């Protein structure tokens, strides 16, 4: 039998009790290669870019550069504001990691709230090739939880 969740639970998981509550005001790092098996593992590949609000420098624990989400439909969140990706190395974007608004050691951990995904799914860029001078707006970022 398939497990199904209600609209109310989907909204709570994404909204004020779940993803939005934990991940709002965080930051996204974009890496080359293949994402780790779970977000509990350290990042794999090369750090290529950082996504922040307006391209501002992100400071854990503050609002500067912090990314925000907004609910757009039942069971769906998307980016709020102008998200900009700024390159720090050369390579092809393969995957992304969203970390919360606190210090994250990036080491193996089951404590730190993190979310990983493939570039092109949820995090959509104009092109995946990144250099140290890349400075582009993120086309879209959407999170969905199905029925």
Express each pLDDT in 14-27 by its tens digit.
777 788 888 889 99
Q: How confident is the model at residue 109 (pLDDT cuts 50, 70, 90)?
A: very high
Q: Which of 131, 135, 113, 125 lies closest to 46, judged by CA?
A: 131
Task: Give the model confidence (pLDDT) of 44-91 as tens digits.
Answer: 999 999 999 999 999 999 999 999 988 777 678 889 999 999 999 999
Residues sharing a CB contact under 8 Å with residue 91, sequence separation 6 or more, in sequence order: 32, 45, 46, 48, 129, 130
Per-domain boundaries in the chain: 25-142
What is the 8-class DSSP label of residue 25?
Answer: T
Q: Residues 137, 82: contact at Cβ < 8 Å?
A: yes
Structure confidence at residue 15 (pLDDT): 75
Q: pTM here?
A: 0.90
* β-pair type (135-137, 68-73): unpaired
């Amino acid at each position: 039998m398939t497990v199904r969740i209600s609209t109310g639970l989907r909204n709570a998981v994404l909204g004020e009790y779940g993803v939005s509550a934990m991940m709002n005001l965080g930051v996204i790092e974009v890496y080359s290669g293949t994402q780790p098996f779970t977000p509990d593992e350290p990042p794999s590949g090369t750090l290529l870019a950082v996504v922040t609000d307006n391209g501002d420098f992100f400071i854990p624990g503050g609002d500067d550069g912090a990314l925000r989400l907004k609910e757009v439909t039942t069971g769906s969140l998307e980016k709020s504001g102008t998200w900009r990706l700024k390159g720090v190395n050369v390579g092809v974007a393969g995957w992304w990691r969203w970390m919360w608004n606190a210090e994250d050691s990036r080491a193996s951990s089951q404590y730190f709230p993190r979310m990983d995904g493939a570039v092109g799914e949820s995090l959509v860029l104009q092109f995946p090739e990144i250099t140290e001078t890349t400075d582009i707006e993120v086309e879209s970022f959407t999170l969905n939880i199905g029925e």
